[in-house]
Structure 1
Amino acid sequence: MGGGMSMNLVKAGFPVTVWNRTASKMEPLIEAGAKAAGSPKEVAAASDIIVSIVTDSSDVEAVILGSEGAIHGTKPGDIVIDMSTISPAVTKSINEKLGAKGVKMLDAPVSGGAIGARDGTLSIMVGGDDETFKECLPVFEAMGKTITHVGGNGMGQTVKLVNQILVGTAMLGVAEALMFAKKSGVDLEKCHAAVSGGAAGGWQLTNNGARLLKGDMEPGFKIKDYLKDLRLIMEAAADVKMPLVETSVVQQMYKSLEAEGLTQKGTQAIIKAVEKLAGETLV
């Protein structure tokens, strides 16, 4: 994700300094004109706007607040944009620590996967103050197409969790519906074409539904990463005392795939859990 997003910033003409825990991943960016840094602290010292995208809450804390974290290279007036998907509560805590140094923060998680990152078509949901959002809008426009300021700090992360609830429940619905069609003797290709253009149509059906018909389980978004998001969803839901009945089922279905060692597959591989329940394979 970060590689594609950084490349689009380089292509847009921004002076970009990069750091990655795996140094070899920086090489295409350096060849394209970016400068390499030895730590997040060095990136921050060379930048006015610092963008991070890593896996989980603890990773963001390490990259921003750790001993070589970005906070130690910032100066008052700098802006940190975290585009990871993490806990809203952790985001607010990081914002407070940055604010104590006079550094502003936006939480701006993304949807669209590696393909969207490469093509600059990500959906970006941004939390933070309006003035800072407007200042950073050209940066967002280099990486995404649908850019929405959704509220104050932490709200970007909350809206991303909303997105992930919808993604998982829709994907389970697609898998169940196609398996129902298969067991009922319907031509799957014709069924998929018929329902994709109607009220049931949507991204998961059009894209991952088509992958299922080809038996393609390779990841656009890995199960291991979605399980992390499901954990964040359940933690945030507990904080606001919100029962999530359907999402709980989705979580258990993906946990069954984790038990089978399928976490490197794409989220469409939920069909494997549905196939077990149905006693039949889709294709």
Structure 2
Amino acid sequence: MHAAELAEILSSQRNVWVITGAGISAASGIPTYRDHGGQWKSATPIQHQEFVADANKRQRYWARSAVGWPTIADAEPNTSHQILAQMEKHNLIHYLVTQNVDGLHQKAGHQQVVDLHGRLDQAFCLNCGKYETRQSIQERLIAENPFLPEVNQQPAPDGDAHLSDEIISQVKAPLCTACGGILKPDVVFFGGTVPKPIVEDASSSLASASLMLVVGSSLTVYSGFRFCKIAEKLEIPIVAINQGATRADDLLSHKFSCDSGLLLQETYQLLNLNS
């Protein structure tokens, strides 16, 4: 029933603008920050300013990241990522913004992806600007903290993991190999700001869209919700697939409160784009 309705909506579209959130990657084994009601599942994540200003916070971040990174590195795209990539291939989707930092859309073969909050698979030095891959940093972390592979803890969102203060206190945080400066993952931490050119480009692309499709996001964070306000102003219909409430519920023309993978797969089959 849902698939038939969504297929009918999409069948007349050829310029769909998509934004995705943490809910789309949950099926790939990556934990989400919030439950279906939009409430935090645990303590709030690290803030931008505290990471920059506090060496102890950086030690905490890198200790937890060392244990949690494999969850991101080993994750594979799920049905939602794959179907969206196929929809792009057949020119139904022309622009996709993701609030995730896991790179799974690209891994699924999606070509036009805007990483609104950056990518976790790289980091850069706040002093000299040199970039380093996250995998290279991981190898250095393990070499300098050989006890970490034996730590078995519950993974948390965005490559984080829950660790005891005792373990964290033993970890030596990585520094820039070029100048010894502070290494920061190339992501927008909570309290940080999305670069203006990214927002402007996404907004400009949305202005030419015939439909906005939200997949797996509560849109609680304003950096994503702002595009719903833009779509409303431009009178562009907004459709959401999300298990739970969204900040934009009163702006939606249609909402499907169900699993995105199954719905997108069935919808794709009904659209028969391969014919």
TM-score normalised over the length of structure 2: 0.26
TM-score normalised over the length of structure 1: 0.26
| Greater relative contact order (CA < 8 Å, ≥ 6 in sequence) | 2
Task: Specify which structure has the higher proportion of strand.
Answer: 2
Task: Specify which structure has the higher proportion of helix.
Answer: 1
